[in-house]
Amino acid sequence: MLQSSTVKFLKDLAKNNNKSWFDTHRNQYENAKTDFAGFVQTVIDKHGKKDEGIAHLKAKDCMYRINRDIRFSKDKTPYKNNIGAYINQEGKKSLLGGYYFHCQPGRSFVGGGLWMPMPSELSKVRQEIDYNFDAFKKIIGSKKFKVIYGDLSTEAEYMLSRVPKGYDADNPAADYLKRKSFVVMAPIKDAELVSKELIKKVLDSFETLQPMLKFINESIKG
């Protein structure tokens, strides 16, 4: 579980997103960062027993900076209103898919997958789904997957309007071939963030996602 002070800091930051306030409350931020890092490391250590590819990772190398890159953004608020961690066997900049945990009061979630891959990697995943759709469908159609995630995200930014060139419109896998990202998300309530059940929920979610990540990453590695 996370400390209630960590959740409170993020709520307060959302209301006071400016450098002056942040500097005044830097100790609270450092405490929240330490708390979150401890939670992420526990997740890595426990899930790493089932997915050995992530067992070597350290929380600090999976966490994102709280500072926003505002150079090309109309929104000039300097800080993110969340803290997140991307747990990928080859690091945050890897081309492979990975696990993700997002802590933001009112908008927290657990999930992961492959987000906006480069054309080469995207082509490989689509090809593997086309070749082995029965295997892919079995993974994302499992009862536990449906209960936790429902299905892959269908947000407009993650989808093409048509099946990509080279595939027939009536392809059985058409709905998944149109995807530009292969991601899943399961919401987490604020009360769950500070509950002892949080670690179990995250571990169950990651374990359920693991077969899909294996399918995706093996297709990328070839």
Where do the domains of the chain lie?
A: 4-221
Candidate from 69-83, 88-102, 189-203, 208-222 with smallest mean pLDDT:
69-83
The pTM assigned to this predicted structure is 0.95
- What is the predicted pLDDT for the residue at 19? 96
The three-state secondary structure class of 183 is: strand
The residues, ordered by sequence, that sit 6+ positions from 184 with a Cβ below 8 Å of its Cβ are 111, 112, 113, 149, 150, 151, 152, 153, 209, 212
- What is the predicted pLDDT for the residue at 73? 86
CATH class of domain segment(s) 4-221: alpha beta
Average pLDDT over residues 122-128: 97
**Cα–Cα nearest to 116, from 181, 183, 161, 185:** 181
Tokens, residue 74 = 């109309």
pLDDT tens for each residue of 43-52:
999 999 999 9
Q: 93 near 118, Cβ under 8 Å?
A: no
pLDDT tens for each residue of 192-214:
999 999 999 999 999 999 999 99
Candidate from 19-28, 152-161, 181-190 with smallest mean pLDDT:
152-161
- What is the predicted pLDDT for the residue at 15? 97
pLDDT tens for each residue of 53-63:
999 999 999 99
The three-state secondary structure class of 135 is: helix
pLDDT tens for each residue of 177-188:
999 999 999 999
